[in-house]
A and B are shown apart, each in its own frame.
Chain A
Amino acid sequence: DQQVKQNSPSLSVQEGRISILNCDYTNSMFDYFLWYKKYPAEGPTFLISISSIKDKNEDGRFTVFLNKSAKHLSLHIVPSQPGDSAVYFCAASEKTSYDKVIFGPGTSLSVIP
């Protein structure tokens, strides 16, 4: 069973426009959410996170929105740049004794110049 879902395997956006990547989760015990970015042949790198006590967190061009009632979060990138082309993983953790992080399957973003 997939606890973190990213239903769009891929997304193409024009440079300068907004990229919106979506993520849904099923486990209501998740209380911390993260986005990671991954280039080919490299490991994932941390992008931005949000705690369940917030509904928005912003860092430069990146904003994450959390809708707990809908069990949905989204990552907004504005303006999108060609260097943003990568696979984006949504991830979540549950407040257990060790806060294991569960990743979604990823969305491949292509930003077209």
Chain B
Amino acid sequence: NAGVMQNPRHLVRRRGQEARLRCSPMKGHSHVYWYRQLPEEGLKFMVYLQKENIIDESGMPKERFSAEFPKEGPSILRIQQVVRGDSAAYFCASSPGKGASYGYTFGSGTRLTVV
């Protein structure tokens, strides 16, 4: 998983706080994808971003969740007013081009625990 950097690796938040998850894609990759893995479940697509644009956010919960990928800096997944059900592993992936055939490279994930 070298190349896609996610931080923090572990994040503990109390109910009602905000969680900010960061993802720096591989060098040369301008496409970023966020996935969530709930306990005992597979990876669920959340959002697909290119630089400064959200391309597909169909997997994002309608409230409290937002994502951005600014011109400079990492992509940020923001969860406001966290609840226990937000506890999960959040994975970011990047690719050099649009489409699965380019291959997604995943980061090691951020494990969010809401207490």
Contact = CB atoms under 8 A, between A and B. Distances in A.
Interface of A: 6, 32, 34, 36, 41-46, 49, 51, 89, 91, 93, 97-106
Nearest to B103: A46
Nearest to B1: A43
Contacts of B109: 41-43
Given A98-B48, A100-B48, A101-B33, A43 B99 contact: no
Interface string B1-27: 100101000000000000000000000
B104 A98 contact: no
Contacts of A91: 100
Given A32-B99, A49-B103, A98-B48, 19 more contacts: A32-B101, A36-B106, A41-B108, A42-B108, A43-B1, A43-B93, A43-B106, A43-B108, A46-B103, A46-B105, A49-B100, A49-B101, A89-B42, A91-B100, A98-B98, A99-B99, A100-B45, A103-B35, A103-B44
Q: How large is the interface on B (under 10, 10 to 19, 20 to 34, 35 or more residues)?
A: 20 to 34
A34 B99 CA distance: 12
22 contacts: A32-B99, A34-B100, A42-B109, A43-B91, A43-B106, A43-B109, A46-B103, A46-B105, A49-B100, A97-B98, A98-B56, A98-B98, A98-B99, A99-B98, A99-B101, A100-B48, A101-B45, A102-B45, A103-B35, A103-B43, A103-B44, A103-B45
A32 B100 contact: yes
A46 B56 contact: no
Contacts of A99: 98-101
Contacts of A44: 43, 91, 106
Contacts of B44: 103
Nearest to A91: B100
B104 A103 contact: no
A91 B107 CA distance: 17
Contacts of B35: 103
Interface string B43-66: 111001000000110000000000
